[in-house]
Amino acid sequence: MKIALAQISPKLGDLDANFRLHTEYIQKARKKNVDLLVFPELSLTGYTLKDMAEEIALDPRTDPLFGKFRSLSQEISFVVGFVEEKERGQFLNSAAFFSQGTIAHIHRKIYLPTYGMFEELKFFGEGKNFLTFPTPHGKAGMLICYDFLHISSSYLLFVGGSELIIAISAAPGRGFSDEGGYASSRMWELMGEAVSRFFQSFVIYCNRVGFEDGKSFAGGSFIYGPGGQLIAQSPYMDEDFLLESIDLEEIRRFRTSRPYRRDEKPEITLEALKRIIAKYED
């Protein structure tokens, strides 16, 4: 299976320009016989939208851009980040997985950071679930940025049978590392390594780059294999088209030798959580 990550810098609030950018990368990926192309969080709109979110929100059931994306997905699967108007006046930070001329799945971001430089809960509603779904390339699950930093999110995809955990992000860079790039990037890499190793899935993380409203986005997109091994990584801060082949049979090898998935007991976790929640309610 051949994967490509489009580490791009979208234009804030410019749907037409960003759609053209997406089609350029999709066409480039098709020429390279890519099976799955992944764009970053809010790739179609830019991130620091604030009150613009209402103006550029799209209904994927009816919007012409989504009709064009469905046509483009006949021969390639891809993930796009966008602002969704699920109901009138309800705006969500969403990601759509296009494949075989359809939208196979839409994930709505659940964990909306609203602290420090982040203001998402002021402008977006919260998603409700973490679901796995079938794709031509295996069972997949999607996360958006801060979702990925909650280990329970990936755990739910793991017990749901996910083989591909796709996380898209618009993560700003903070602090500077002695090795170059941003110190905050190490946080994402550690999570990628841990999730891939213990949940025995391919972790595909696509972050954006560029500047918006005083924020510098870090890049550093990566792919980890199901044993926690780093397979490929994009540079920090620069636009990139990361192309890599993976072997899905590696999942079988790791899940056979270390049967975490076979031995997992989600029913015990569920009962423990019920007891914890009951104590909170007391």
For domain 2-281, the question of CATH label 3.40.50.2000 is answered with no
pLDDT in tens, the chain (282 residues): 999 999 999 999 999 999 999 999 999 999 999 999 999 999 999 999 999 999 999 999 999 999 999 999 999 999 999 999 988 889 999 999 999 999 999 999 999 999 988 999 999 999 999 999 999 999 999 999 999 999 999 999 999 999 999 999 999 988 776 666 678 899 999 999 999 999 999 999 999 999 998 889 999 999 999 999 999 999 999 999 999 999 999 999 999 999 999 999 999 999 999 999 998 876
Long-range contacts for 66-74 (Cβ within 8 Å, ≥24 apart)? 66/96, 66/103, 68/19, 68/23, 69/22, 69/96, 69/98, 70/98, 70/101, 70/102, 70/103, 71/101, 72/23, 72/26, 72/98, 73/98, 73/99, 73/100, 73/101, 73/102, 74/100, 74/101
**DSSP 8-state secondary structure symbol assigned to residue 238:** S
**DSSP 8-state secondary structure symbol assigned to residue 33:** T
Residue 277: partners with Cβ closer than 8 Å, 6 or more residues away? none
**What pLDDT is attached to residue 236?**
93
Domain ranges of the chain: 2-281
Q: CA–CA separation, 231 vs 233, rounded Å?
A: 7
Q: Dihedrals φ, ψ of 222, to 5°?
A: -155, 165
